[in-house]
Amino acid sequence: MMNKLTAVITGDIIDSRKVTTKEWIEPFKKILNRLGSKNKSWEIYRGDSFQLETGPEIAFESLLLLKSTIKQNKLIDVRIAIGIGEKDFKTTKITESNGSAFIRAGFCFDNLKKQTMGIRTEQSELDVTLNLMFELAALTMNKWTENTAYIIQQSLLNPNIGQKELEQKLNLLQSSISRGLKRGGYDEIQKLNTYYKKTINNL
């Protein structure tokens, strides 16, 4: 019987030494706690590195949440690799677990070079397509301002409310929210997320 596929996200904070840890770690932990349980599903280690296990179909959305959280500080960014595969060895600490998903995430992360996000699955042709799409999306995402990142993050966290309700929740003008979403490429990124989910669900 085949093991169920899982997704492992491995990453680190770019230019973390330019800021104090307390400037990013609490909001980052808050998002990680929404995505899973500490130690079992996620860990921050070596100061600015992290690992998260999540469902394959929501891995890209998780990446978006992590990215939009970190980009709310203009001095730092985040490098993220997604590995899709199996989990063969399970412990109470995510960083001690193993399997093809963990190996692929590590390999992908080690080969990111100048890219800020990438993915590795069991299908090399799919990897080429998704990584090209990720690279193109990063041209916009890497340039998110603090305000744009905040608006993107809140839109991701509140997918079922309209801009009018979001305006009241964030205490921002609807025009500001609309401009932020447009500048951040929100609609295009959501199209990529839809494509990602469709292809990953076919693995």
Q: Which residue reads 């999540």 in tokens?
A: 54
Domain ranges for the chain, please list them: 6-200
Helical segments of the chain, H only? 25-35, 59-70, 100-110, 124-141, 146-157, 163-170, 174-183, 186-200
Order of strands across the sheet with 117-120? 42-45, 49-54, 6-14, 77-85, 117-120
Nearest by Cα to 140 from 80, 71, 91, 47: 71
Rounded mean pLDDT, 128-137: 98
Given this model, what pLDDT does residue 90 score? Answer: 78
Given this model, what pLDDT does residue 92 score? Answer: 83
Give yes or no for a contact between 203 and 84, defined as CB atoms under 8 angstroms apart.
yes
Rounded mean pLDDT, 103-116: 96
**Mean pLDDT across the chain, nearest whole number?**
95
- Give me 11's structure tokens: 């990453």
Among 88-97, 103-112, 141-150, the range scoring the smallest mean pLDDT is 88-97
Q: What is the DSSP letter of 38?
A: B
At residue 89 the predicted structure's pLDDT band, cuts being 50, 70 and 90, is confident
Provide the β-strand partners of residue 98: 89
From the centroid of its chain, how far is CA 64? 4
Give the dihedral sign, CA 116/119/120/123. negative
Query: Given 3.30.70.270, 3.30.565.10, 1.10.760.10, 3.40.1790.10, which CATH number is that of 6-200?
Result: 3.30.70.270
Given this model, what pLDDT does residue 162 score? Answer: 85
Give the dihedral sign, CA 124/5/136/79. negative
pLDDT digits 0-9 by tens, 26-46 = 999 999 999 999 999 999 999
Q: Is the pLDDT of residue 55 over 70?
A: yes
Given this model, what pLDDT does residue 3 score? Answer: 64
